[in-house]
Structure 1
Amino acid sequence: MNITTSPADMATALAKSFAGQILRSGDPHYDEARRVHNGLIDKRPALIARCLGVADVIDALALARERRLEIAVRGGGHNVAGRATTEGGMLIDLSLMKGVYVDPNRRTARAQGGATWREFNRETQLHGLATTGGVVSSTGVAGLTLGGGLGWLMGKHALALDNLLSAEVVLADGRVVTASSEQNADLFWALRGGGGNFGVVTSFEYRLHPVGPLVTGGLIAWPFAAAWDVLRHFRDVTANLPDEFTVFGGLVHAPDGSGEKLAVMVMCHCGPLAAGEMAAERVKGFGTPAVDAVGAMPYCDLNAMLDGAYPRGALNYWKSSFLGGLDDDAIRTMIDCFGRCPTPMGQLLLEHFHGAVTRVGVADTAFPHRAEGYNMLVLSEWTEPRQTEACTAWARDSFAALRPYMGAGRYVNYIDADERDDVIAAAYGPNYARLQRIKAKYDPANLFRLNQNILPTA
């Protein structure tokens, strides 16, 4: 029996105690609030509950359970696959919950679920502290951490989830619990890589590390004609890196909108500036760069240097997989695929794993990808809806062409909404069965299913 009533009735019921904003279709700010970062996603929730605190989350969740509404949970960032919204259900929106509280003596920080890494870094860098937090500062703290947490500091300080000390979670039944190594340890294990499957995480406590305020980093680019040599050099450089030095590579378009294709390396050295300068010379001295923007800069600036390439409202379709290796044939295929890219915002990126991130055990957290190597991302991005068919086809075709060079692993934060359930299971590898059991314990009815969904099992 469907007992859902009208949005107006539900809004009235929730408003009796709710401190935040309750929006439904026709309200002045509804259309702006329902939009997500990816302009390809266009859904209309019955209600948007813009929470100001944990009590709001509990009330919104209770109403959704009572009225049998599909539940989506949105943090503060991208969610490119569009899983952070719903058609006709309840959107529990944490984006107004942006508090970040730093304890410089303990070197910890607690961030609410709607914070972005820009907001997080701004507070922690006041004390010369940071933790691994994405490569784009507009990324949300919540989604990045729950699914993994690649970032510029991961060679030295591992992933965002590896620095998580505790989390406050609203469970499917409305209870509020703390997950840590001492409390609800099974839930804490699952949250570190298992995404939003287990509850609404309203705050995250992180371990911080001395970083900056200046680091060595930036972008260096060569003409596309040099891509073969540049990507082979990237492979050589990443074969032997100090932990402090993270280097990503790939094929991109010039940011001026000209459509000019470039081969690039983007880097961050979070150690002493003199050591960073020496490490960067191995990259800067190669060939004849068209652009060299590598040098000393504030860590906050480095974390935001790529933001302009991912504007809110652009249309996005991504495909991603870990590579089994970066051999010459894989490089040739990347160059061939990128030569056919139909959008001046498209990219083929290689995110390199090494150092501390690879020294964590496969079963120590839910995130199993701990081998040194490369995550390959086919990133199709465009602004004109008439380009949608061509741009999505390019991403799919490029991904298919690169399939022979892929390993078994997939990074769940990059899995698109059109992937099969078995892809999600494969992304967790040997950890999936344990995740299913924990899901059955904390969310047996699969209330939280608008995510890279883990199916509960006994």
Structure 2
Amino acid sequence: MTTLNIQGKILTPASGEAYTTALTRLSELSQLPAGYIVQPSNYADVAAAVKFAQAQSPPLEIAIKGGGAHGATWASSSGGLVVDLGATLRNVTVASDKQSVVVQGGALWGDVYEVTAKESVDVVGGPLWFIGVGGFTTGGGYSPLGGERGLAIDNLLSATVVLADGRIVKTSKDEEPDLFWAIRGRRLRRTSGGGGQFGIVVEFVFKAYPPQGPYGVGVLAYPGTEIEKVIKAVKDWKTTQTPAETLGINFSRAPPHFQPSVALLPTILHDTNGERSAKLLAPFHDLKPVFEKTGTVPDLNMVSHGADGSLKNAPRRVVIRGAMFSDFYPELVLAIWQKWVAFTETSEDVRASSVFFDLMSSKKLVEVGAADTALALRVPHNWVAVQGKSTTDAGVAAADEWAKSLSGFIRQKNAELSGKDLGWFINMCQGEEKPEDIFGDNLPRLRKLKAKYDPQNVWSKGVALAPLHE
């Protein structure tokens, strides 16, 4: 049996509290008891862990943990080996010319933004600090800067990848270009770390931009009785939306009364003195929100902490699913609202379940061709996250079934309204989804590249790709 010799740490069930802590994920439903947890100190440790897992009889399942924020078990393994990048490989370095930023594969976006804020640059990154860079990026990367700068994958300059055979390779448009194509929109590993199909990204190099702030941010909350007025106001706002503006919409029941409410969460770029926010949010102010807190913040680091309050008291049993929609259809949004209200009234266990819409301009996203990256969806669209949450184990099954059913409804209803079936968003998948519904016309090429880079199907977590051997 091959010995695992690395410079980092190796944790097993015998390691006590350190092992238990390393198993923790944002959702308790994502946690499985690993046989080994490797916390690498360098990229060679990652390669050694991959070789060790394959040398066992039978080979150990390999899972990769980055941010640990997803609701699936793709970043965990029952009895297998977990490479915990998020424990150690989190360095962030801004190039001396400030044209690029090097980010290790275990970093959170909070790690990135703390550095970029100090260096006065911005990158196309995640909206929340606790999201892992790796999974967010290789899943596409819908960002507060996306309207003006495109997706995170469109701003990726190069990456360093540990392959299934233990080789460590650089990939870019000029080096291993097939691999570079595949990782942009086909997760090597998820935000939560697992689900890889080609290898493990241990380093990213992103294009850097001058600061895009100050940012107009905040929350405007309304009682559920005003939902139709809010939907109409958002529909009107969409007609004048520019790439510098993103709007989030959240359905939730806030304590202490737990009444249905809808909250608008704007992010407005280049809001130097707050005047842009005042003008753009005026129609929403006219609706007289019951709670309002808006203003400007200087950088993405502060933007990314906007949800800290709600995260603090959220249930730990979370299932995340979701879908895409082609346009802001009032009848679709109202139907989602009604289904959400009905479900969250069924039990106190599941009333924390929520729905979140992200309305980002598609202007830059559609400038990239469907075949230019593995992400084939290059038509105007937005996404919605359906979060089934339960305070008890007894409510988990109902929360999951509701999230699955509602996501399917959104996909089907959008297809009826738009004439386009947008399939599934890989970031919101749970693993049982069909690959053709995620990757569309790019699936055959992905399967061929799977045979090239992982012919033995070492990477099997998540939405698995079957190697297509020629």
* Same-fold call, TM cutoff 0.5: yes
Q: Is the 8 A contact 2:215 2:269 kept in 1?
A: yes
Q: Secondary structure at the match of 1:434?
A: helix
| CA distance 1:272–1:310, change in 2 (3 Å) | closer
Q: Secondary structure at the match of 2:217?
A: strand
Q: Is the 8 A contact 2:243 2:360 kept in 1?
A: no
Find the aligned partners of 1:237 and 1:104 in 2 and give their Cα distance: 40
1:392 is matched with which residue?
400
Q: Is the 8 A contact 2:315 2:352 kept in 1?
A: no
| CA distance 1:364–1:187, change in 2 (3 Å) | same
Q: Is the 8 A contact 1:252 1:346 kept in 2?
A: yes
1:380 is matched with which residue?
388
Deviates more, 1:24-33 or 1:163-172: 24-33
Structure 1 vs Structure 2 CA RMSD: 2.0
Decide which of 57, 71, 78 is 2:69's aligned counterpart: 78
Find the aligned partners of 2:424 and 2:239 in 1 and give their Cα distance: 21
Decide which of 348, 355, 362 is 1:348's aligned counterpart: 355
Q: Secondary structure at the match of 2:225?
A: helix
Aligned counterparts, 1:308-387, within 5 A:
308-310=309-311, 314-342=316-344, 343-354=350-361, 355-387=363-395
1:34 is matched with which residue?
23
Aligned counterparts, 1:118-133, within 5 A:
118-133=110-125
Find the aligned partners of 1:319 and 1:214 in 2 and give their Cα distance: 32
Q: Is the 8 A contact 1:318 1:395 kept in 2?
A: yes
Q: Secondary structure at the match of 1:206?
A: strand
**Structure 1 unaligned regions, length at least 5:** none
1:46 equivalent to 2:35? Answer yes
How far off is 1:375 after superposition? 1.4
Find the aligned partners of 1:336 and 1:282 in 2 and give their Cα distance: 27
Q: Is the 8 A contact 1:46 1:89 kept in 2?
A: yes
2:167 is matched with which residue?
175
Q: Is the 8 A contact 2:23 2:32 kept in 1?
A: yes
2:84 is matched with which residue?
93
How far off is 1:408 after superposition? 2.5
* 1:122-152 deviation line (CA, Å, top 9, x unaligned): 1011122111212221000011001111121
Q: Is the 8 A contact 1:163 1:207 kept in 2?
A: yes
2:449 is matched with which residue?
438
How far off is 1:278 after superposition? 4.8
How far off is 1:52 after superposition? 1.2
Q: Is the 8 A contact 1:36 1:82 kept in 2?
A: no
Number of equivalences: 442
Aligned counterparts, 1:281-292, within 5 A:
281-292=281-292
Q: Secondary structure at the match of 2:14?
A: coil
How far off is 1:80 after superposition? 2.1
How far off is 1:370 after superposition? 2.1
Find the aligned partners of 2:127 and 2:351 in 1 and give their Cα distance: 21
1:265 is matched with which residue?
264
Deviates more, 1:66-75 or 1:310-319: 310-319
Counterpart residue type for residue 75 of structure 1: G
How far off is 1:386 after superposition? 2.7
Q: Is the 8 A contact 1:195 1:452 kept in 2?
A: no
* 1:274-299 deviation line (CA, Å, top 9, x unaligned): 56325533454341112222221132
* 1:353-373 deviation line (CA, Å, top 9, x unaligned): 422223222122111222223
* 1:308-336 deviation line (CA, Å, top 9, x unaligned): 43458711112211124433331231121
Deviates more, 1:326-335 or 1:443-452: 326-335
2:424 is matched with which residue?
410
Aligned counterparts, 1:152-191, within 5 A:
152-191=144-183
Find the aligned partners of 1:137 and 1:205 in 2 and give their Cα distance: 18
Residue identity over aligned pairs, in percent, reads: 26
Deviates more, 1:149-158 or 1:271-280: 271-280
**Structure 2 unaligned regions, length at least 5:** 189-196, 345-349, 415-420
* 1:386-434 deviation line (CA, Å, top 9, x unaligned): 32233223323433443431333321011013x23x2x32111111111
Find the aligned partners of 2:378 and 2:253 in 1 and give their Cα distance: 30
How far off is 1:258 after superposition? 4.0
2:6 is matched with which residue?
18
2:239 is matched with which residue?
239
Deviates more, 1:81-90 or 1:282-291: 282-291
Q: Is the 8 A contact 1:234 1:249 kept in 2?
A: no
Q: Secondary structure at the match of 1:294?
A: strand
2:468 is matched with which residue?
457
| CA distance 1:146–1:410, change in 2 (3 Å) | same
1:277 equivalent to 2:286? Answer no
2:191 is matched with which residue?
none
| CA distance 1:457–1:309, change in 2 (3 Å) | farther
2:127 is matched with which residue?
135
How far off is 1:257 after superposition? 5.4
